[in-house]
C-alpha cells in the first residue's frame, strides 16, 4: 500500500506487512459510512476556519472538494478500494488528489477515534428513523386488521392451552402494544445518542477544535459529549441500539410464531396472500409462511450481535481500543436485517385474510367459558374459592358425560349445585363472555376500538418523529 494513503507511519522504519493490513483494513466493509465521514469533515472544516487554520478560500475549496466526493460516491460509483485502510483515509486520499495540499490540512485537530465514533453515531441516528418508518407501517397494518376484527371472537390461550375467549382484534393489539414499546425505545435511544463526539480527538480533546458545540449543532446533535475520554472510548449507544433491535426482533419473532400457528391447517385462522407466501418444490399443496419463519431465525442472529458487542465491551480499559471496531459489523447487520424483515412482515399482516368463522367455532372449546360460571356465582354472593370448586365439579361432569358446557340445561346445572341457576345460561355465550371484560384494557369490542383509537393517535406522533431528518 502506498504510504501516502495512510494516516500514520512517520515513526515506522518499514511499511506494514500485507497480512497485518488484511486484518486491519476495513474501508470497503465500512463504505456506507462515507457520507457521515464527509458530513463530519464539513463540520470540522468550519472548526478549523474558526481556529484560524483555514482561510476563507481554503475552507471554500475543502467544502467544494468534499461535496464533489459526495456526489461521485452517490452517483458515479466512487468507493473505497483495497488501497484504503478505512473510510477516513479514503476521503483524505481523494480530497488531496483533487484539491492538493489544502486537503491535507483537514486532518489537524481531530483523530480517527472521534471520527469513527461520530460516523457510526450519525449513521445509527439516521437509521433509527428509517427503521421507525418501516416499523410504523407494520404497526398501522396491525391496527387496521385489529379494527376490522375488533369484534371477531377467537380462542385465547395461556400455556398454549384454551383459556378464555377474546377478540382477534384484541389479540393483534397485544402484539401491537409490545411493538409500540420497541418504537418508543428507538426514540429513547435517540435522545441518549444525541451528543456529538467530535472535538474529543484521540482522547484528551482537541487543542485546535475548541468549539465542538458548533460542530454538534451543524450535525443535528443536541450538543457535544461532556467527557472526551468517554466520547471515544464508549459504545454503550451501539450496544443499546443492538438491544432495541434485538428486542424488536424478539417481539416480531413471537408474532411470527403465532402467524405460523394461525396459518396451519390445524388452526386455520388466517390465510396468507399468495404474494407473501412460498410453496414446496415437491408438495404442490403447500403454502408456507416463510416470512414468519425467516423472521424467527433472524431474531436469533440479532440477539447474537447484542451478546457479541457486550462481550467486546466488558473487559476494555478506557479510552479507545481497536476491539471497538466490532461495533460496525453488528450494527450494519442489525440495520440490514430489520430493513428486510419489517417491510415484508408489514405486507404479510396487511394482506393476510383472517377467518372469523373458523376462530369463533373454536373459541368455546376446552371449556373456555368456565370462568363465566365462576364469575356469575361470585357476583351472586358465593365466595370465589367455593365458586371455583363448583365450576370444577361442573367441568368434571361435562368430561364424564361427554357434554359441552354451554349445552347443559338447568336440570343438569342444579344437579351439580342448586346455586347454578338460570342466570348461568345467560353468561354461557361467547359474546357475553367478551362483552363482560369491559374494563380498561379488556377484550370487550368497544374497549378494543377505544384502544385502537388511542394507539393510532400515538402512532401518528411516532411517525412524525421517524420522518424527521437528522444529521
Is there a catalytic annotation at residue 388? no
- Closest listed residue to residue 110, CA positions, set 51, 56, 44, 55: 44
C-alpha cell at 399: 368430561
Q: Name the H helices within 51-86.
A: 56-75
Cα separation, 138 vs 85, whole angstroms: 40
DSSP string across 445-471: HHHHHHHHHHHHHHHHHHHHHHTS---
Long-range contacts of 287-293 (CB under 8 A, 24+ apart): 287/263, 289/256, 289/259, 289/260, 289/263, 289/348, 291/256, 291/341, 291/344, 291/345, 291/347, 291/348, 292/255, 292/256, 292/257, 292/259, 292/260, 292/263, 292/345, 292/348, 293/256, 293/260
DSSP letter at 235 equals -
List strand residue ranges (DSSP E) for 326-421, in order. Answer: 353-354
End-to-end CA distance of the chain: 33
Query: What's the length of the chain?
Result: 471
Cis omega before residue 186 (within 30°)?
no
Cβ atoms of 122 and 471 closer than 8 Å: yes
List strand residue ranges (DSSP E) for 58-134, in order. Answer: none
Is there a catalytic annotation at residue 280? yes
List strand residue ranges (DSSP E) for 329-454, in order. Answer: 353-354
User: Which is the catalytic residue, given 55, 264, 280, 438?
Assistant: 280
Cβ atoms of 187 and 470 closer than 8 Å: no
Cα separation, 464 vs 183, whole angstroms: 12
Q: Is 176 left (phi over 0), alpha (psi -120 to 50) or beta?
A: alpha
Catalytic residue annotation: 159, 280
Amino acid at each position: 500500500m502506498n504510504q501516502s494513503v495512510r494516516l500514520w507511519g512517520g515513526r515506522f522504519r518499514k511499511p506494514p506487512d500485507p497480512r497485518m493490513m488484511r486484518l486491519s483494513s476495513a474501508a470497503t466493509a465500512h463504505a456506507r459510512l462515507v457520507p457521515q465521514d464527509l458530513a463530519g469533515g464539513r463540520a470540522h472544516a468550519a472548526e478549523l476556519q474558526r481556529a484560524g487554520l483555514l482561510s476563507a478560500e481554503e475552507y471554500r475549496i475543502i467544502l467544494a472538494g468534499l461535496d464533489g466526493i459526495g456526489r461521485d460516491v452517490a452517483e458515479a460509483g466512487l468507493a473505497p478500494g483495497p488501497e484504503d485502510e478505512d473510510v477516513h483515509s479514503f476521503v483524505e486520499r481523494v480530497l488531496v488528489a483533487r484539491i492538493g495540499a489544502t486537503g491535507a490540512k483537514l486532518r489537524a485537530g481531530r483523530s480517527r477515534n472521534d471520527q469513527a465514533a461520530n460516523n457510526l453515531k450519525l449513521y445509527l441516528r439516521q437509521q433509527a428513523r428509517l427503521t421507525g418508518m418501516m416499523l410504523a407501517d407494520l404497526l398501522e397494518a396491525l391496527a387496521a386488521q385489529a379494527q376490522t376484527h375488533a369484534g371477531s371472537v377467537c380462542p385465547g390461550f395461556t400455556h398454549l392451552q384454551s383459556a378464555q375467549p377474546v377478540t382477534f382484534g384484541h389479540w393483534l393489539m397485544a402484539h401491537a402494544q409490545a411493538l409500540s414499546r420497541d418504537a418508543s425505545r428507538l426514540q429513547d435511544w435517540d435522545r441518549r445518542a444525541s451528543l456529538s463526539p467530535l472535538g474529543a480527538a484521540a482522547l484528551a480533546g482537541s487543542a485546535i477544535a475548541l468549539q465542538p458545540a458548533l460542530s454538534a449543532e451543524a450535525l443535528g446533535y443536541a450538543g457535544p459529549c461532556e467527557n472526551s475520554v468517554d466520547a471515544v472510548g464508549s459504545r454503550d449507544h451501539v450496544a443499546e441500539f443492538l438491544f432495541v433491535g434485538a428486542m424488536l426482533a424478539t417481539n416480531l419473532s413471537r408474532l411470527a410464531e403465532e402467524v405460523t400457528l394461525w396459518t396451519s391447517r390445524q388452526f386455520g385462522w388466517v390465510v396468507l396472500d399468495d404474494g407473501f407466501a412460498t410453496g414446496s418444490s415437491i408438495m404442490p399443496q403447500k403454502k408456507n409462511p416463510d416470512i414468519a419463519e425467516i423472521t424467527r431465525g433472524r431474531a436469533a442472529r440479532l440477539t447474537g450481535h447484542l451478546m457479541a458487542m457486550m462481550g467486546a465491551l466488558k473487559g476494555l480499559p478506557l479510552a479507545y481500543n481497536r476491539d471497538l471496531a466490532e461495533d460496525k459489523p453488528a450494527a450494519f447487520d442489525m440495520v440490514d436485517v430489520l430493513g428486510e424483515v419489517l417491510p415484508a412482515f408489514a405486507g404479510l399482516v396487511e394482506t393476510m385474510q383472517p377467518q372469523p368463522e373458523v376462530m369463533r367455532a373454536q373459541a368455546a372449546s376446552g371449556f373456555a367459558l368456565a370462568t363465566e360460571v365462576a364469575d356469575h356465582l361470585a357476583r351472586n354472593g358465593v365466595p370465589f374459592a367455593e365458586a371455583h370448586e363448583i365450576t370444577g365439579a361442573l367441568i368434571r361432569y361435562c368430561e364424564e358425560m361427554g357434554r359441552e358446557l354451554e349445552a347443559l340445561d338447568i336440570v343438569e346445572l342444579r344437579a351439580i349445585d342448586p346455586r347454578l341457576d338460570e342466570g348461568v345460561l345467560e353468561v354461557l355465550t361467547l359474546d357475553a363472555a367478551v362483552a363482560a371484560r369491559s374494563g380498561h384494557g379488556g377484550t370487550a369490542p368497544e374497549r378494543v376500538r377505544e384502544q385502537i383509537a388511542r394507539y393510532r393517535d400515538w402512532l401518528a406522533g411516532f411517525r412524525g418523529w421517524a420522518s424527521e431528518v437528522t444529521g
